[in-house]
Amino acid sequence: MSVDSKTVKKIANLARIAMTDAEVEAMVPEFNGILGWVEQLGEVDVTGVEPMTAVIPNTLRLRDDVVTDGDIRDKVLANAPAAEHGFFGVPKVIE
Amino acid sequence: MTDITDLGVADIRNGVRAGTFSAREVATAFNEQVAGAKALNAFLIDTPEHALAAADAIDAKRAAGEELPIMAGVPIGMKDLFCTVGVEARAASEILNGFKPTYESTVSQKLWDAGAGMLGKLNMDQFAMGSSNETSAFGNVISPWRRNDGGNAPLAPGGSSGGSSAAIAARLCPAATGTDTGGSIRQPAAFTGISGIKPTYGRCSRWGVIAFASSLDQAGPMARDVRDCAIMLEAMSGFDPKDSTSLDLPVPQWEAGLSSDLKGKRVGIPREYRMDGMNAEIAAIWDQGAEWLRDAGAEIVEVSLPHTRYALPAYYIIAPAEASSNLARYDGVRYGQRNLPDGAGLQDMYAATRAAGFGPEVKRRIMIGTYVLSAGFYDAYYTQAQKVRALIARDFAQVWEHCDVLLAPTAPSAAFGLGENSDDPIAMYLNDVFAVPASLAGLPAMSVPGGLDSMGLPLGLQIIGKPLDEQGVLNAGLAIEERAGFTARPERWW
C-alpha cells in the first residue's frame, strides 16, 4: 500500500503536527519506505493466533474505591505554560 | 590508592562501609569528572549538590553506626527519561522545555532509598527514539571511544541510553539508569564496552518514567560489570501499586546469587540470528562467547526461533503505535512548551506546539503510529503485528524446553561514526535486530563486553533469559566476563 501527500497531510492533521507542504513531500517517500518494509508481516501465517495483550501473564489488580490522592492543585498546575486562577489556560474555544 | 573514579558500584559501597573513604570524597571526585567532561555532551544537567547531599546522609548514617544500604555512597547518572523532583526532565526534547517534575519516579526513589545520589541528568535519544543518540534536541553524545586508525572520527555511543553508556565508559559515573524499549540499554552498552541489563517486563516500575511504548518500556541498570548491574537492579526493582503492569513479586537477591558455574545449564544458539552477510568479527566473538560458556560448564545447543526476521518490522508497528498514543499528551496545555501563533485557536496551538517541540524522528514515529492505528488500517498493521508478536513470544516459550539461556550478539556491528547511518531510518532501525525480539517477549536480556574488534572498538555479547530468570542471565554474563577479561578502556581525550 503506498501513501500520497494527501494521506500524509491527513495523518499529520490526526496527529496534530503542523507540517509545511515541503515537509509533507519529504515525508511521503520515507513513509512509503517504512510501510513497504513492515508489510512483510503480511506473509506470516497467523491463522488461529490471538493478538498479544500482555507479555508477562499478570492480573489487573483491583483496589478499594477510595480517594488516594488529591489536594495538589498547585502541583498539578506548577508546570502549565499558562495557568490562570487555578485552571489551565487555553485559547478561546467557543465563539 | 587507586583513583576513586576507577571504582565500580560494589567497590565504592564496600569502601564507604569500611571507611576506606567517605561518601563525600566519592561524590566530590565524580562531580569533578562530570564537570571536566563537557566535550562528551553526556550530561544535560549537573546536580552536584544532589550527589553531595546523598553522600553526607550516608556519612552521617555511618558515623551514627547505622547499617548502610546496598548502594551506600554510590553516585549515579540518571537518564533524562526519569522524573526527579525539582530537576528538569525533558526526555532530551524541546517540547518538555522547563518541565520540572513535582514528583519522583519510583525507580529513582528506590535508588535514593538504597543510598545512591544523583550526579546529573543524562543525554539520550529524544523520547528514547534512536540507536545513536543523534535525535537528542541537545546535540550528539560523543562516545569516549575512538577507532585505532589514528583518525578522530566521533563515534556514536549507541542509543537511546547513549549519555548513560558514554558517561560510564568515560568514568564520569560508576553506573547509570537506562531504559530499554527495543535495545536501548543493551546496544549502547555493547558500543561502549560496559554491561547493562533489561529485566523482565514489570520488574521495574514505569511510574514517573516518561513513556515511549508502554508494553515494551523497561528500566534497568548500566554499569561496568555484572556484579554492579546485579546490585543496582536489586535497588531499582520491586512491586509498585502505581504501575498497573508492575509484577507483585519479591525482589531476588541477585548479587548474593551470582555464580559463574554453569554446570548442568544449557545455552541455546539461535540459528536464525546468524544472518546473511553477518559481520565476520561479530560472528567470531559470538563463537568465542559460546566457547567461554562451554568452558564454564554449560552445554551448547543449537535452537530455532523461526519468526526472528519478523521481530523488527513488528516492533516498528507496535512501538510507534504506542508512542503516537502516549505522546498525544504533549499538547502545550499542561506542561512544557506552548506555541501560540497570532490568532490561533486550540487546534492550531496543538499543531504548532507539536511541530516545534518534537524532533524529526519523533514526528516520523508518531505519524507512522497514527497511520497504523487509523480507521481501515488497524487490523492490517497493528492487529497483524500483535499476532506476530504472539508468535515471537511462542518461539521463545518453545525454546526454553531445550535451553536455559540464549547467547547472541548484542548489535550487528561495533559503534559506527556519528552521521554514518542517519540518512536512512531503516538502516538505523536494523541496529536493534538482535535486541528487539527479547523486548517483544518481555524477557530479561543483558549485554556484556566480549572483546575489541580490529578497529579497537568494543563488541558486546547478549544473553537472553526466561521470564523472571534475571539470575540465569547475570550468571551467564558473569561467566563470560570472567573469561573475556575485558579491561580495555577509552584513552582520555576529552
DSSP structural state of residue B273: G
| Measured torsion, CA atoms of residues B13, B233, B118, B56, in degrees rounded to the nearest 10 | -30
CATH T-level topology, domain A5-42: Histone, subunit A (1.10.20)
Residue A94 has what pLDDT?
76
Q: Taken in order B193, B199, B201, B202, is the CA torsion positive or negative?
A: negative
Looking at beta carbons, which residues of chain B come within 8 Å of A11? 367, 370-371, 374
Backbone angles phi, psi at B188, to 5 degrees: -65, -35
Report CB contact under 8 Å: B371, A35. yes
Residue B437 has what pLDDT?
98
Looking at beta carbons, which residues of chain A come within 8 Å of B357? none
- When CB atoms are compared, the residue of A19, A55, A80 closest to B334 is A80
Q: pLDDT per position in chain B (494 positions), as tens?
A: 579 999 999 999 999 999 999 999 999 999 999 999 999 999 999 999 999 999 999 999 999 999 999 999 999 999 999 999 999 999 999 999 999 999 999 999 999 999 999 999 999 999 999 999 999 999 999 999 999 999 899 999 999 999 999 999 999 999 999 999 999 999 999 999 999 999 999 999 999 999 999 999 999 999 999 999 999 999 999 999 999 999 999 999 999 999 999 999 999 999 999 988 899 999 999 999 999 999 999 999 999 999 999 999 999 999 999 999 999 999 999 999 999 999 999 999 999 999 999 999 999 999 999 999 999 999 999 999 999 999 999 999 999 999 999 999 999 999 999 998 877 888 888 889 999 999 999 999 999 999 999 999 999 999 999 999 999 999 999 999 999 999 999 999 99
Q: Which of B153, B150, B71, B77 is nearest to B111 (CA)?
A: B71
Report CB contact under 8 Å: A12, B367. yes
Report CB contact under 8 Å: A79, B102. yes
* Residues in contact with A36: Cβ distance below 8 Å, sequence separation at least 6, in sequence order: A2
Q: Which of A89, A77, A14 is nearest to B338 (CA)?
A: A89
Residue B1 has what pLDDT?
52
CA separation for the pair B199, B421 (Å, rounded)? 29
Please report the DSSP string for B388-445 in residue order.
HHHHHHHHHHHHTTT-SEEEEESSSSSPPBTTSS-S-HHHHHGGGTTTHHHHHTT--E
Q: Which residue of B has its CA nearest to A47?
A: B387
- Three cell numbers, residue B15: 569502601
Annotated catalytic residue, options B93, B108, B136, B184 = B184
Q: Which residue of A has its CA nearest to B339?
A: A81
CA separation for the pair B72, B10 (Å, rounded)? 10
The domain spans of chain A are: 5-42
B155-189 b/e (C-beta count within 10 Å ≥ 16 → b):
bbbbbbbbbbbbbbbbbbbbbbbbbbbbbbbbbbb
Residue B276 has what pLDDT?
85
CA B276 to the chain's CA centroid: 27
Amino acid at B201: Y
- When CB atoms are compared, the residue of A14, A37, A50 closest to B390 is A50
What domains can be seen in chain B, in order of their start residue?
4-264+477-484 (3.90.1300.10)
Residue of B204, B308, B315, B371 to mutate when probing chain A, most A C-beta within 10 A: B371
Residue of A10, A13, A17, A63 to mutate when probing chain B, most B C-beta within 10 A: A17
| The pLDDT of residue A1 is above 70 | no
- Long-range contacts (CB closer than 8 Å, 24 or more residues apart) made by A62-70: A63/B241
- When CB atoms are compared, the residue of A14, A33, A46 closest to B426 is A33
Q: Which residue of B has its CA nearest to A12?
A: B367
Give B45's strand partners: B121
- Three cell numbers, residue B418: 556519528
Residue of B316, B342, B387 to mutate when probing chain A, most A C-beta within 10 A: B387
- When CB atoms are compared, the residue of B317, B352, B367 closest to A11 is B367
- Give the closest-approach CA distance of A50 to chain B in angstroms: 6
CB B134 within 8 A of CB B417: no
Q: Which of B75, B405, B23 is nearest to B223 (CA)?
A: B75
CA separation for the pair B176, B255 (Å, rounded)? 17
The CA-CA-CA angle for residues A74, A77, A83, to 5°, reads 115
Residue B13 has what pLDDT?
98
Where does B214-342 show beta strands of DSSP type E? 218-223, 266-270, 299-303
- Three cell numbers, residue B186: 543493551
CA separation for the pair B174, B301 (Å, rounded)? 35
The CA-CA-CA angle for residues A30, B307, B282, to 5°, reads 80
CB B464 within 8 A of CB B444: yes
Continuous H helices in B134-184: 162-169
Q: For residue A95, what pLDDT band results from cuts at 50, 70 and 90?
A: low
CA separation for the pair B485, B149 (Å, rounded)? 24
CA separation for the pair B446, B464 (Å, rounded)? 7
Asked if B374 is an active-site residue, the reply is no
Alpha-carbon separation of residue B93 from B81, B143, B239, B275 (angstroms): 10, 20, 30, 35
Residue B307 has what pLDDT?
97
Where does B259-359 show beta strands of DSSP type E? 266-270, 299-303
Report CB contact under 8 Å: A27, B350. no
